[in-house]
Amino acid sequence: MKRKVLLAVVVIASLSLLANAGSISGKVSGVSGESVVYVDAIAGKTFPAPAQQSVMDQKGLMFQPHILVVQQGATVQFLNSDSVAHNVFWISIGGNKKLGHNLGTWPQGEKRPFKFDNPGAVSLLCNVHPEMSGYVVVTPTPYFAKTDKSGEYKIENVPDGSYSVTAWHEGAKNQSKPVTVAGDSKTDFTLSK
Ligand SMILES: [Cu+2]
């Protein structure tokens, strides 16, 4: 009997903790393959740069993963796992050509870091292999998710509140929608080129 009471107390305490954070989930359609959905910048809120570094690999003559999502301020390690030299450059970040950059060209086993302080999509290219293409999507908040291949996504642990949420897909126009999170909320997007 005591155990049941204790269990009930634990369950109620857990529910009250969860009451202030929810999730945003839904589907991105109109495009095929992976998209990225993220909460836009929140007025008056800043987020510390994530301590964890992500890796964008160049392997099998491809950027892997094809799409890497990181929070603004994150450092990405660009690794070359191939036996040939690769280059990494981009002509803009979030469409801003002043943020174009060439990281250089380096051989197998080496990596170079870059800290992404500006939000936006970064189209990665390699000037040794013009067919190579990848993306880093830099989000202004830690609330982001990549969809699965069918377009389904879920952003976890979003504090209750009202936000603008944006869906991004390679080659498509971004779509933004207002979303109010109070527990679990749903938002779908339909993108077009
Ligand atoms: Cu290359």
CA of 21 relative to ligand 1 center, distance in Å: 42
CA of 117 relative to ligand 1 center, distance in Å: 25
CA of 99 relative to ligand 1 center, distance in Å: 21
CA of 132 relative to ligand 1 center, distance in Å: 6
Structure tokens at 155: 């952003």
Q: Note the residue count of the chain.
A: 193
Q: How far apart are the first and last CA of the chain?
A: 61
> Which residues of the chain, if any, have pLDDT below 50?
1
Beta bridge partners of 112: 78
Beta bridge partners of 126: none
CA of 53 relative to ligand 1 center, distance in Å: 22
* pLDDT score at 193: 87
* pLDDT score at 20: 80
Exposed (0-12), middle (13-18) or buried (19+): which is 85, by Cβ within 10 Å? middle
CA of 143 relative to ligand 1 center, distance in Å: 31
CA of 27 relative to ligand 1 center, distance in Å: 33
